[in-house]
Amino acid sequence: MEVRSSLLAALVALFGALHAVLVAIPGIWRSWMIVILPIEGMLLGPKAGFLAALMGCLIGRLIRPRPGFYVIFGLAEPVGALAAGLAFKKKWMAVFALFTALLVAYFAHPLGRELPAWCLWDIYIALALIPAIPYVVGPALEEKANPKRLASAVALTAFIGVEADVLTRIFILIPTGLYALMGLTTGALYLAWLAGAVKTPIESIISVLVATIVGVPLLIALEKSKLLEWPVT
Protein backbone atom coordinates (compact mmCIF):
# COMPACT_ATOMS: atom_id res chain seq x y z
CA MET A 1 0.00 0.00 0.00
CA GLU A 2 2.93 2.33 0.76
CA VAL A 3 4.44 1.77 -2.70
CA ARG A 4 1.04 2.02 -4.31
CA SER A 5 0.36 5.39 -2.67
CA SER A 6 3.80 6.71 -3.61
CA LEU A 7 3.39 5.56 -7.21
CA LEU A 8 -0.05 7.11 -7.44
CA ALA A 9 1.21 10.42 -6.06
CA ALA A 10 4.10 10.39 -8.53
CA LEU A 11 1.79 9.70 -11.47
CA VAL A 12 -0.62 12.47 -10.46
CA ALA A 13 2.30 14.89 -10.12
CA LEU A 14 3.78 13.81 -13.47
CA PHE A 15 0.57 14.15 -15.44
CA GLY A 16 -0.34 17.31 -13.57
CA ALA A 17 2.96 18.82 -14.70
CA LEU A 18 2.40 17.70 -18.30
CA HIS A 19 -1.11 19.11 -18.20
CA ALA A 20 0.20 22.44 -16.85
CA VAL A 21 2.78 22.72 -19.63
CA LEU A 22 0.17 22.02 -22.31
CA VAL A 23 -2.23 24.53 -20.72
CA ALA A 24 0.51 27.14 -20.96
CA ILE A 25 1.02 26.46 -24.69
CA PRO A 26 -1.60 28.20 -26.87
CA GLY A 27 -3.48 25.79 -29.10
CA ILE A 28 -5.62 26.44 -32.15
CA TRP A 29 -8.25 28.22 -30.06
CA ARG A 30 -7.63 27.27 -26.44
CA SER A 31 -4.54 25.30 -25.43
CA TRP A 32 -2.96 21.94 -26.14
CA MET A 33 -4.27 20.42 -22.91
CA ILE A 34 -6.94 18.77 -25.10
CA VAL A 35 -4.36 16.14 -26.09
CA ILE A 36 -3.55 15.05 -22.53
CA LEU A 37 -6.96 15.40 -20.86
CA PRO A 38 -8.50 12.08 -22.02
CA ILE A 39 -5.25 10.15 -21.47
CA GLU A 40 -5.21 11.30 -17.84
CA GLY A 41 -8.64 9.79 -17.30
CA MET A 42 -7.92 6.56 -19.16
CA LEU A 43 -4.55 5.83 -17.58
CA LEU A 44 -5.00 7.24 -14.08
CA GLY A 45 -8.71 6.50 -13.73
CA PRO A 46 -11.49 8.92 -12.72
CA LYS A 47 -10.16 9.91 -9.30
CA ALA A 48 -6.46 10.36 -10.01
CA GLY A 49 -7.21 11.70 -13.50
CA PHE A 50 -9.44 14.37 -12.00
CA LEU A 51 -6.74 15.38 -9.51
CA ALA A 52 -3.99 15.52 -12.15
CA ALA A 53 -6.12 17.65 -14.48
CA LEU A 54 -7.16 19.93 -11.62
CA MET A 55 -3.55 20.43 -10.58
CA GLY A 56 -2.48 20.99 -14.17
CA CYS A 57 -5.22 23.47 -15.02
CA LEU A 58 -4.43 25.60 -11.95
CA ILE A 59 -0.65 25.58 -12.37
CA GLY A 60 -0.92 26.12 -16.11
CA ARG A 61 -2.94 29.27 -15.57
CA LEU A 62 -0.33 30.58 -13.19
CA ILE A 63 2.27 30.08 -15.91
CA ARG A 64 0.07 31.63 -18.61
CA PRO A 65 -2.61 33.74 -16.90
CA ARG A 66 -6.01 34.21 -18.54
CA PRO A 67 -7.78 37.58 -18.54
CA GLY A 68 -10.68 38.25 -16.20
CA PHE A 69 -13.16 35.44 -15.62
CA TYR A 70 -11.66 33.19 -18.32
CA VAL A 71 -9.58 31.44 -15.67
CA ILE A 72 -12.76 29.85 -14.29
CA PHE A 73 -13.29 27.83 -17.47
CA GLY A 74 -10.22 25.78 -16.54
CA LEU A 75 -12.34 23.97 -13.97
CA ALA A 76 -13.97 22.11 -16.85
CA GLU A 77 -10.74 20.25 -17.58
CA PRO A 78 -10.80 17.95 -14.52
CA VAL A 79 -14.45 17.19 -15.31
CA GLY A 80 -13.41 16.08 -18.79
CA ALA A 81 -10.70 13.84 -17.33
CA LEU A 82 -13.22 12.47 -14.83
CA ALA A 83 -15.67 11.62 -17.61
CA ALA A 84 -12.93 9.88 -19.61
CA GLY A 85 -11.91 7.93 -16.52
CA LEU A 86 -15.48 6.86 -15.79
CA ALA A 87 -15.96 5.82 -19.42
CA PHE A 88 -12.78 3.74 -19.34
CA LYS A 89 -14.10 2.04 -16.20
CA LYS A 90 -17.30 1.20 -18.13
CA LYS A 91 -19.37 3.38 -15.79
CA TRP A 92 -21.45 4.67 -18.66
CA MET A 93 -24.52 5.46 -16.55
CA ALA A 94 -22.49 7.95 -14.45
CA VAL A 95 -21.20 9.60 -17.63
CA PHE A 96 -24.70 9.68 -19.10
CA ALA A 97 -26.05 11.25 -15.90
CA LEU A 98 -23.32 13.91 -16.00
CA PHE A 99 -24.09 14.88 -19.60
CA THR A 100 -27.83 14.82 -19.01
CA ALA A 101 -27.65 16.99 -15.88
CA LEU A 102 -25.48 19.60 -17.61
CA LEU A 103 -27.70 19.68 -20.70
CA VAL A 104 -30.89 19.96 -18.64
CA ALA A 105 -29.38 22.85 -16.68
CA TYR A 106 -28.42 24.54 -19.94
CA PHE A 107 -31.82 24.22 -21.62
CA ALA A 108 -33.60 25.20 -18.40
CA HIS A 109 -31.91 28.60 -18.68
CA PRO A 110 -33.69 31.14 -20.92
CA LEU A 111 -30.56 31.62 -23.04
CA GLY A 112 -30.28 27.88 -23.50
CA ARG A 113 -33.63 27.97 -25.27
CA GLU A 114 -32.76 31.13 -27.22
CA LEU A 115 -29.35 30.21 -28.59
CA PRO A 116 -29.31 27.84 -31.62
CA ALA A 117 -29.61 24.30 -30.27
CA TRP A 118 -28.07 22.72 -33.37
CA CYS A 119 -24.70 24.29 -32.52
CA LEU A 120 -24.23 21.64 -29.84
CA TRP A 121 -24.43 18.84 -32.40
CA ASP A 122 -21.11 17.29 -31.38
CA ILE A 123 -22.28 17.08 -27.75
CA TYR A 124 -25.46 15.30 -28.88
CA ILE A 125 -23.34 12.75 -30.75
CA ALA A 126 -21.22 12.16 -27.63
CA LEU A 127 -24.38 11.71 -25.56
CA ALA A 128 -25.75 9.20 -28.06
CA LEU A 129 -22.49 7.22 -28.02
CA ILE A 130 -22.27 6.91 -24.23
CA PRO A 131 -24.44 3.74 -24.04
CA ALA A 132 -21.96 2.06 -26.40
CA ILE A 133 -19.18 2.31 -23.80
CA PRO A 134 -19.61 -1.21 -22.33
CA TYR A 135 -19.59 -2.77 -25.81
CA VAL A 136 -16.47 -0.91 -26.95
CA VAL A 137 -14.43 -0.44 -23.78
CA GLY A 138 -15.38 -3.77 -22.22
CA PRO A 139 -13.71 -5.99 -24.87
CA ALA A 140 -10.65 -3.71 -24.88
CA LEU A 141 -10.18 -4.15 -21.13
CA GLU A 142 -10.44 -7.92 -21.55
CA GLU A 143 -7.73 -7.87 -24.25
CA LYS A 144 -5.54 -4.99 -23.16
CA ALA A 145 -2.74 -5.88 -25.58
CA ASN A 146 -5.06 -5.92 -28.59
CA PRO A 147 -4.34 -2.66 -30.49
CA LYS A 148 -7.50 -2.74 -32.61
CA ARG A 149 -9.87 -3.12 -29.68
CA LEU A 150 -7.89 -0.64 -27.61
CA ALA A 151 -7.84 1.96 -30.40
CA SER A 152 -11.62 1.93 -30.64
CA ALA A 153 -11.99 2.22 -26.87
CA VAL A 154 -9.45 5.05 -26.61
CA ALA A 155 -11.02 6.99 -29.49
CA LEU A 156 -14.52 6.72 -28.03
CA THR A 157 -13.36 7.60 -24.52
CA ALA A 158 -11.29 10.56 -25.73
CA PHE A 159 -14.24 11.97 -27.65
CA ILE A 160 -16.56 11.67 -24.67
CA GLY A 161 -13.96 13.16 -22.32
CA VAL A 162 -13.21 16.25 -24.40
CA GLU A 163 -16.92 16.82 -25.08
CA ALA A 164 -17.58 16.65 -21.32
CA ASP A 165 -15.01 19.43 -20.96
CA VAL A 166 -16.85 21.51 -23.58
CA LEU A 167 -20.25 20.91 -22.00
CA THR A 168 -18.93 21.89 -18.59
CA ARG A 169 -17.60 25.14 -20.04
CA ILE A 170 -21.05 25.84 -21.44
CA PHE A 171 -22.57 25.12 -18.03
CA ILE A 172 -20.12 27.53 -16.38
CA LEU A 173 -20.90 30.22 -18.95
CA ILE A 174 -24.71 30.06 -19.19
CA PRO A 175 -26.54 28.36 -16.25
CA THR A 176 -24.20 29.84 -13.62
CA GLY A 177 -24.63 33.31 -15.15
CA LEU A 178 -20.94 33.95 -15.82
CA TYR A 179 -21.79 35.43 -19.23
CA ALA A 180 -23.48 38.36 -17.46
CA LEU A 181 -20.41 39.02 -15.29
CA MET A 182 -18.29 38.95 -18.43
CA GLY A 183 -20.57 41.49 -20.10
CA LEU A 184 -21.44 39.23 -23.02
CA THR A 185 -24.57 40.18 -24.95
CA THR A 186 -26.98 37.73 -26.57
CA GLY A 187 -25.64 38.77 -29.96
CA ALA A 188 -22.06 38.02 -28.94
CA LEU A 189 -23.09 34.63 -27.55
CA TYR A 190 -24.98 33.85 -30.75
CA LEU A 191 -21.85 34.46 -32.81
CA ALA A 192 -19.77 32.42 -30.35
CA TRP A 193 -22.22 29.53 -30.66
CA LEU A 194 -22.02 29.60 -34.47
CA ALA A 195 -18.22 29.63 -34.34
CA GLY A 196 -18.18 26.88 -31.72
CA ALA A 197 -20.27 24.62 -33.95
CA VAL A 198 -17.21 24.44 -36.22
CA LYS A 199 -14.24 24.98 -33.91
CA THR A 200 -15.21 22.60 -31.10
CA PRO A 201 -15.55 19.49 -33.30
CA ILE A 202 -12.14 20.23 -34.84
CA GLU A 203 -10.59 20.32 -31.36
CA SER A 204 -12.36 17.07 -30.53
CA ILE A 205 -10.97 15.41 -33.66
CA ILE A 206 -7.45 16.55 -32.74
CA SER A 207 -7.90 15.24 -29.20
CA VAL A 208 -9.17 11.86 -30.42
CA LEU A 209 -6.36 11.47 -32.98
CA VAL A 210 -3.56 12.35 -30.55
CA ALA A 211 -5.05 10.27 -27.73
CA THR A 212 -5.28 7.28 -30.06
CA ILE A 213 -1.82 7.68 -31.62
CA VAL A 214 -0.09 8.29 -28.28
CA GLY A 215 -2.40 6.57 -25.81
CA VAL A 216 -2.70 3.14 -27.44
CA PRO A 217 1.07 2.39 -27.64
CA LEU A 218 1.53 3.81 -24.13
CA LEU A 219 -1.17 1.64 -22.61
CA ILE A 220 0.01 -1.47 -24.46
CA ALA A 221 3.61 -0.87 -23.38
CA LEU A 222 2.52 -0.53 -19.74
CA GLU A 223 0.42 -3.67 -20.03
CA LYS A 224 3.28 -5.73 -21.47
CA SER A 225 5.80 -4.39 -18.99
CA LYS A 226 3.57 -5.29 -16.03
CA LEU A 227 4.83 -2.14 -14.32
CA LEU A 228 1.39 -0.61 -13.95
CA GLU A 229 -2.17 -1.83 -13.89
CA TRP A 230 -4.47 0.63 -15.64
CA PRO A 231 -6.79 2.38 -15.04
CA VAL A 232 -4.89 3.10 -11.82
CA THR A 233 -7.93 4.24 -9.79
Strand partners, 28: none
- Phi/psi at 31 (5° precision): -155, 170
pLDDT of residue 31: 83
**Distance between CA atoms of 9 and 12, rounded to whole angstroms?**
5
pLDDT of residue 106: 98
Q: What is the mean pLDDT of each run of 10 residues along the chain (233 residues)?
A: 71 96 83 92 95 96 85 94 97 98 98 96 98 97 93 97 97 96 94 94 94 95 88 89
pLDDT of residue 220: 95
pLDDT of residue 50: 97
SS3 of 164-187: the string is: HHHHHHHHHHCCCCHHHHCCCCHH
Closest residue by Cα to residue 51 from 61, 41, 60 = 41
How do the domains of the chain map onto residue ranges?
A: 2-225
pLDDT of residue 68: 79
